[in-house]
Amino acid sequence: KQVNQFPHGGPIWSLALTADGSRLATGGADGRIKLWNVADGALFGEIAAHTQEVLALAFTKQGNKLASGSRDRHAMIWDVATQ
């Protein structure tokens, strides 16, 4: 399956993979975080996270929380267990 070449409308600035390798988070120039299922490439969640580029992402070991940092000078923690 081919995934949208520019899912963020521009460059992807950051990414993170869960410890079990099942989910991927991407952070883009659009300030959004997108959540992907690695097995089939399906987008299953999106977070309107920041007002500028998402420059850093990291999942907790359990994969239920995601930290993000942005050029907007904010760091956030997201509950992605329900995504």
Per-residue pLDDT of the chain in tens (83 residues, 90 and over written 9): 555 566 777 888 999 999 999 999 999 999 999 999 999 988 999 999 999 999 999 999 999 999 999 999 999 999 998 66
Considering only CA atoms, which of 12, 15, 23 is closest in space to residue 64?
A: 23
pLDDT at 59: 97
pLDDT at 9: 75
Amino acid, single-letter form, for residue 54: V
16: helix, strand or coil: strand
pLDDT at 82: 67
pLDDT at 8: 72
